Structure 1
Amino acid sequence: MTPISMTLRATLLGCAFSMAGCGVTYFSPTVSDQTAGLAVREIPITPEAVLLANRQPYAPRSLPAYFSQVAGGGTPRGLGALPSSPQVPDLVPGSVGLRPPPSAADETYRIGVGDRVRLATRAREDVLDPLSGGVAGQNVQQDYTVRDDGSVTIPEVGTIELGGLTIEQAEAQLFDRFIQGGIDPSFSLEVSGFNSQYVNIGGAVANDTRVPVGLTQPTLGDAVTAAGGVQVANPEFGVIRVYRDGTLYEIPLEDYRDRPELRDIRLADGDSVFVDTGYDLDRALTFYQQEIQLTTLEANARQAALNELTTEVGLRRAALNEARANYQAQIELGAIEYDYVYLAGEVTNQGRQPLPLGQQATLADVLYGNGGFQTATGNPRQIYVLRASSDPRDFGAVTAWHLDAANAVNLTLATRFEMRPDDIVFIEEQPITRWNRALQQAFPVLLSSAADAI
C-alpha cells in the first residue's frame, strides 16, 4: 500500500469517526420525554387510551346556516281541471228513477293543501315553564298549515313537503329529517284540520255546508245529517241528486229513507249533493254551476299565490347563493378562522390540514386523507399525536399519544382516535433511513476532506 493510499484511508476514517462521534453529521427529529422546560408524557394508544383522549371537549366548527337552508319547498302542486258539465238524463216530473252513485273506494287519507297537521315532540330538558320555573311539560304540540306547494316549515327541521303523503309516509319522512338534524325522533303526527278534501251539500236541507273528507270517508247519511237533515214538504216528490265526475245520480227520498244501504254510500272528495223535488232540476243545475264558478275562483287565487311564491323563492335563492359565494371568497383570502392539525416527520405531505366542519376527524382521516406515509422511510412503530395542554397551570405540557402500528391491527385504533385543534401528527424515520441519510450527508464532506489531504 502506497503512502498516499494509507494517508487517504486514515483521513477518511478519521473524519468519519470524528463527525459521527461529535454527532454533527445528521440530526433527525424524535419524540423524547426529556425536554428542557417542557413536560412530556408518552401514553401508548390503546382502546382505553382512545376513550381518555377523546374526553377532551371539542365542538367542530359549523358551516354557516345559509349552507343548510333551502330557498323554498318542493314542486308546486297542479291545480287540476274543472269538472265537466253533468250528464242530465231525460226526466219527467214526478217519475224520478233510482240511479244511486257507486260507493267511493275506501282509500287511505293523503295530506293536502290547507290541511292542518299537529306535531307533538318531546320538550327539551333546558326549556323551563315560565309559570312554575320547572322543566316544561313532556310534550310540545304545534299546528302547521300545509301551504299551496304542499309543504310546511318546522323550526330546526326546515321546509318539508307533506302534500300527497299518507300519515305513515309523512311520519317516515319526518323521522329521517329528525335523525339527519340530530334531533330526538320521539314525536307523533296527526291531521288536526281536514280542509283539503270535502263534499258539498245544499238545496232542501237545514244548512248548506261542506263536509270534510277525513280519515274516514263520509257517507251520504253523514252528509245529510251534517246539513241538518232534509227539509222537503212533500217527501214523495223529494230526490237527492249527487254530482260526481260530471255524472248526475239520483235517489228518490222515499228510497233513501227505506233502504239503509243507500244512506251508507261512501262519498268522495269533490262530490256535490243537492236535495230538492223532481220539479226543481233547474235549481240543482244552478247550484252545481255555482260550485264550478267557486272552483274557478279558488284556482285563480291559488295560481296567483303560486306565482308570488315562485318570485319569493327566486329572491331567497339569489340571496343564499350570494352569501355562499361570499363565504367561498373569504376562504380563498384566508379571512375565515379554521381549526387545523399539522403533519410532520415521515408523512407523505408535510403541512397543515383543516379539520372538517360539522363533524369529528380521526387520526386515520388526517393521516390517510393526506397521502399517508411510506413504510420504506417512516417507522410504523413510532406514530405520535402530540397534544399540548390547554390548561395554563400545565405550562404547555405535552402528551405524546403513541401508536405502534407494526401490527396493522392497531390501525383500527386510528379510526377511533379523534383529533383536536393544533394536534401534531409526527412519524419518526426508520433506523436504517437515519443511517442512510447520515451517510449521504457525510460522504461529500469525507471525500472533500480526503481530496484536501491529498
Structure 2
Amino acid sequence: MTFRYKTLITSFVLVTMSGCALVPGSHFEGIESGEQTQNLEKDLDKVNIQIIDASLISQQNQLRKTPKPMSSNAGIDTSHYQYRLGVGDVLTIGVWDHPELTIPAAVQRTAEFDGFRVQEDGTITYAYAPNIPAVGKTVRELHKELVKRLSKVIEDPQVDIKVVGFRSQKTYITGEVTKPGVYPVTEIPLTLIDALNQAGGLSEFADWRTVTFTRGDTTETIQLDKFYAQGDISQNRLLQHGDIVHVNRNDTQKVFVLGDVKKAGTVSLNRYGLNLAEALSDSGGLNENTANANGIFVLRKRDYEQSGILADVYQLHARNIASMVLAEQFELQPHDIVYVTSAPLARWNRVISLLLPSVTSIERVNSIGN
C-alpha cells in the first residue's frame, strides 16, 4: 500500500515536471531530468505517507487527550514561599502600647510614604534599633531581629511589621497581552499564568500556543496550549526578579493552501485551531471542474536529524460526504502545506494547451513555405 502511494506521488510529480519542461526556461540549470527523477525517488523514501481515515483521526485524538508524563517536581509548590526583602522595599513598623514609636498616619499621606525604606546599604533604621540588615531577609527574620534589639529598652515588645511597598523585585510581561508592563514580585507567589492574567490576558493577535520565558541567559518555550488544554502544570513557572515573559504574535501561525483551489494562499490559525475542512473552505473550496477529489494532500515537515523522516504526507479521498467529516476532524498544525492536485484529464488538457501554440506556429510556417 505504501509503495503504491509513493509511486502515485512520484508519477504526479514527474508529470508536473514534464509539463514544466514544455515551458522555455522552466528546467533546472545543470541538472538533467534523469538526475532530478533519481533525487526525487530517493527523497520519497524518507517520506511517511498515511491515509486520512477514521483510524488516523482516532489515533490523533488519543494523543491530544492523553496527558503527557510529568516529572515529580512538575508542580509549583508555593507552601514554603517567603518573600525576601530588597533595596527599595517599604515597611510599616508598629509596637503595641508604644504609640510614640509609631509614626501617626496623616490624611494626605499614605502608609508607603510614611514607611521605612530599605536603604542602599541594605539596612533599615528604627527607634532604638539602627542599621538593621534587611536585604535578603524574610519579614519573620527581620521581626525576630527587631524584637531582640527593642527588648533591651522595652519589656516584651509586641512588634508588627508589614511590607507596604514592593519596589525591589520586578518581572516583565511583554508582547501581545492586554496590559504589557512591569509587575512586582510580592509576598503572594506570582506564577507565569498569574502574571498573564494580571496583564489582562492574551490579545486578539497573540500566539495562544507558546510563550517565551527568559531567566538570566536562558530562554525556553512554554507550551501554553498544553497547560490549558491538557492541564500540564509543568508548563507553569514561579516567577523571580528579572524574569521576562513574552507573548509572540500569531503571524507565523499559518498553513499554506496551494494547488487546484479557487483562492490559493495562507490561512491563519486562531486560538481554537484549524481543521482541514476549514482551510479548504477559507480558500474558496476545490475547483469543481479540474480538481482531483482524491488528491488532497497535507504535507507536514519533520525533524529529519531526529526521526530520519523528511515529512509526513496525509492524503484525503474526498469523493464522498463521509470524507468531509474526516476533513473536519483532521487538525492542522502551523506551517502545514495543503495541496490539491488536478484531475489527470485536467493536467493533460494543460499540457495540450502549452503544445497547441507551438503546433499552430509550425503549421503556419509550413503553409507559407508551400
Q: Is the structural similarity TM-score above 0.5?
A: no
Q: Which structure has the higher relative contact order (CA within 8 Å, separation 6+)?
A: 1
TM-score (norm 1): 0.33
Larger radius of gyration: 1
